[in-house]
Structure formats: structure tokens, C-alpha cells
Structure 1
Amino acid sequence: MSEPETRKVGDRGQVTLPKRLREAFDIHGGDEVTIREAGDKIVIEKPTSRADLAEGYRRRAEHHRELADEMAGSSREANASLGDAPGWEE
């Protein structure tokens, strides 16, 4: 985390974001930001784009598929070693 910077609030409530933060978070003139309260703080953040959100869901789904494949393999190994449990039907 970088050192905080002090900015003055203009008469209309406007504050200029420091250039290094705009560059770091890829914020340009005309972009929208989200402003919310978090306890006793004001948080300004770049909204998550639909593309970023979709990519996150794709990665999560792939991770779940990998886990399911791993568990299926473990289940097959257990069945091969231990045999079926009595009274168990798939």
C-alpha cells in the first residue's frame, strides 16, 4: 500500500484522483467509479466490468470441474481397492 495523499475538495465536492492511482487502476476521464461508505471511510473503486466478472465465473467453473474430476478419480480408486459397500447402489 502506498503513502496517502491529501487533496482538497472543491466547492462542488469534486476531488482529483492522483495520476499514479489513475494509471495503476486504469481509470481515465469519463470512466465511472463506485463510491460507497465502509464504516467510517469513503471507498472509491473501479466497478468490475462484465467481461472481468464473466472471466471470474469461467475460472471458478473450471476449478470446480477440476475438483469434480479429481474426486471422481479418488472415488474410482477407493472402489477398486475397497470394493462396493454392502447395499450401495449407484
Structure 2
Amino acid sequence: MSSGEHRTVGERGQVTLPKDIRERLGIEGGDKVIVEEDDGRVVIEKPVTRAELAEGYRASAERARDVADEMAHVSREADDYLGDAPDW
């Protein structure tokens, strides 16, 4: 059982989203939302914008660079500690 606010569906299938939810999610009048059914539930989502998607890719690339830098540092430390690997 949901603990969310109860809303009435109008004759044309319209439902007003609660103001606090709209404000928290940054949904304003005229914005597009995604409405889908998931296992008997109606799910309303704010779509990901191109800017949000781009920021996610930038953050992911930055994390990948950080990991690569750390691995290079660890590899140099290992080389310094162990010396050159034999050419077997």
C-alpha cells in the first residue's frame, strides 16, 4: 500500500502532481514527463535532459581518468619496489 498523497483522476485521465514533488524534481508546467506501467504501478518520471546526460558522461570520464592515474602511480611504485620485470 502506498503512503503517498491520494489524488483524483479526472474524466480525461488527468492527475495533478503534488507541489512538493514537482518542486523537488524540478518539474514545471509545460515540462514533459515519462509515464509507464511497471508491474501494475503507474510510474511518472522526469526524463533525463541532454545536459544531465552530458554531465554524467563527463563525470564518468573524470572517474576513469582518476583510476587510470592511480593505476599508473601504483604501477610506478611497483616498478620502483620490484625493479624491472625479467624478459622470460
TM-score, normalization by structure 1:
0.88
Number of the residue aligned with 1:21: 21
1:38 Cα deviation after fit: 2.0
Alpha-carbon offset, residue 69 of structure 1: 0.3
C-alpha distance in 1 between matches for 2:38 and 2:69: 40
* Alpha-carbon displacement from aligned partner over 1:48-84 (angstroms, at most 9, x marks no partner): 1100110111011001101100000100110111012
Gaps of 5+ in 1: none
Partner of 1:12: 12
Write the distance in 2 (CA, Å) between the matches of 1:81 and 1:55. 39
SS in 1 for 2:5: coil
**1:32 equivalent in structure 2:** 32
Q: Which amino acid aligns with 1:71?
A: M
Gaps of at least 5 residues in structure 2 are: none
| TM-score, structure 2 normalization | 0.90
Counterpart position of 2:72: 72
How many pairs are equivalent?
Answer: 86
Q: Alignment partner of 1:64: what SS? A: helix
**One-letter amino acid matched to 1:13:** G
Query: Which amino acid in structure 1 is aligned with residue 55 of structure 2?
Result: E
Match of 1:56, SS?
helix
Matching of residues 53-68 of structure 1 within 5 Å: 53-68=53-68
Identity %: 59
RMSD (CA atoms): 1.3
